Structure 1
């Protein structure tokens, strides 16, 4: 039996081998003709893995276009979600970095091109800073009344955000609306971090984000608009001098007995320390009203120009 099978297999063996080779070639030709290799592009979301904690992370691209190649039959059921693009930030520290895009493709596909193939990431450290909260009174009270005193529930707050954003914050303010009130009242005041232009700094949180403010009103007082007079102290380093000094606001409304207000044309700030100042600076300072005088807003911003003294040239020694 085995001998008979062996004879069948070995009979015309070269012809059979040739037929097998031809069959394989024909199969490959048919498959290549019917299921050729083609290319297509998929747009996928860029994932971030191993992102370090404690940083604000920004990137210059959020999607990646993947051009891939594979047998046409594989593209019939393929969708964008089958392809992955990601970057690994495990070895990235603070600053700006160009990071290589990695890909994961379904079996049978090969990557032709990824656009972009690198993505720029910026890692900005999250920091905290304590600041004094300022409360600005807006609007007017009922006729015959004025603000005698405001008492916020917090004086100091903590701001948190990316280090570059925190550097832009110059003040934390809350607006106390009087809204025509004629009696003492309390209200909840939101607190906002703003920059030197008076605009809110996005991405920075204030903790707590609001304060309860008690407003005490007084009756029978006269009102008057006077100039704010900044009072500068000592401590400016050697080699520097003060240039212009401006207040914001320049004038402010005060209230008090008529005989007291009649003698006032300005109201002074508390003494402003110049200790260690070597550059132009904005300082938030409290006002120092006389006894019996109240102010709606008890603090102002003082812009102090600080510059280096010009060096005087020594006269040349005359020759004898």
Structure 2
């Protein structure tokens, strides 16, 4: 009986040694390794009324695991995503979530959260405004022009579309003396003349046919500035004026002689509490060229007593 018991003890010891040896051999042949991956970040569960910006495109991930597992893992086996099922308009700080392959362990994630902007998707139509770029010959002027289409459909973030004041088509007229046609790009501007990017436009350019007139008449006229809205209660208006205060108009005698001044589009002063400057496009007048066609409007305020 004692001999039988000793044999079973030896067998158990041998079995344990075999298991330990097996693990040593496996670990030696398939050691723990690490792999690094650049994984694209996707947005999930976003309501159709919203669009996002500032979402990170990729996240850097480092995993560890048995070598045989790691060598078979690629970026497509790792899922990085932002869940926006509870999205609201404005800035949000959201976690960047990961799903990694079975048998691996996350060692490093370059970005665990991101500050993104959520906007309401909006579509709006704008009438195109022409702007002549360049100086024509002294006796030549644009007698008429036709843009096709005359409107542009703008889509994208509501906060950006709210800033759009006009859709501008710049028409190159430098040195032109005969009728011509051109495909001219469209760009969007705010009320202060700054350019607005980040929105989609359909179309992004307009076909423009320009008719050139000759024997132009020129005249210098003052620029009129109109405003609306109320300044902040903490300030009062010190001055507001156009720079330059006069412009040269050129064109058909009948059109030019009928103008005594150029009135700019009214400017909103609502809620302003500091000095401000706008770049305002001169109005489009058939048969008349206005030089310059962009006028600075400078407003100065002072503290209310």
Indicate whether the TM-score tops 0.5.
yes
Q: Partner of 1:90: helix, strand, or coil? A: coil
Determine if the alignment matches structure 1 residue 269 to structure 2 residue 262: yes
- Kindly name which structure, 1 or 2, has the bigger radius of gyration based on alpha carbons: 1
Cα gap change, 1:14 to 1:54, in 2 (>3 Å): same
| Separation in structure 1 between the aligned mates of residue 186 and residue 79 of structure 2, nearest angstrom | 42
RMSD across aligned C-alpha pairs, in angstroms?
A: 4.3
Determine if the alignment matches structure 1 residue 230 to structure 2 residue 224: yes
- What do residues 217-267 of structure 1 show as CA deviations (whole Å, max 9, x unaligned)? 43444334x14331648x766986572221568422323559x86xx9x84
Aligned to 2:240: 244
| Displacement after TM superposition at 1:203 (Å) | 1.7
| Separation in structure 2 between the aligned mates of residue 269 and residue 221 of structure 1, nearest angstrom | 18
| Separation in structure 2 between the aligned mates of residue 28 and residue 256 of structure 1, nearest angstrom | 97
- What do residues 288-315 of structure 1 show as CA deviations (whole Å, max 9, x unaligned)? 89xxxx521497657263858944xxxx
Of residues 272, 283, 286, the one that matches 2:283 is 286
Cα gap change, 1:300 to 1:228, in 2 (>3 Å): farther
Of residues 303, 308, 313, the one that matches 2:297 is 303
| Separation in structure 2 between the aligned mates of residue 182 and residue 76 of structure 1, nearest angstrom | 70
| Displacement after TM superposition at 1:109 (Å) | 1.6
Structure 2 unaligned runs (5+)? none
Of residues 133, 136, 140, the one that matches 2:128 is 133
Contact 1:173 1:192 in 2 (8 A): yes
| Separation in structure 2 between the aligned mates of residue 19 and residue 206 of structure 1, nearest angstrom | 77
Aligned to 1:316: none
| Separation in structure 1 between the aligned mates of residue 10 and residue 268 of structure 2, nearest angstrom | 104
| Displacement after TM superposition at 1:274 (Å) | 7.5
| Separation in structure 2 between the aligned mates of residue 287 and residue 181 of structure 1, nearest angstrom | 19
Aligned to 2:106: 111
Aligned to 2:115: 120
Aligned to 2:86: 91
| Separation in structure 1 between the aligned mates of residue 16 and residue 146 of structure 2, nearest angstrom | 96
Cα gap change, 1:22 to 1:95, in 2 (>3 Å): same
Determine if the alignment matches structure 1 residue 253 to structure 2 residue 246: no
Count of aligned pairs = 293
Q: Partner of 2:121: helix, strand, or coil? A: strand
Structure 1 unaligned runs (5+)? 1-8, 312-320
Structure 1 runs (4+) greater than 6 angstroms displaced: none
Cα gap change, 1:127 to 1:173, in 2 (>3 Å): same
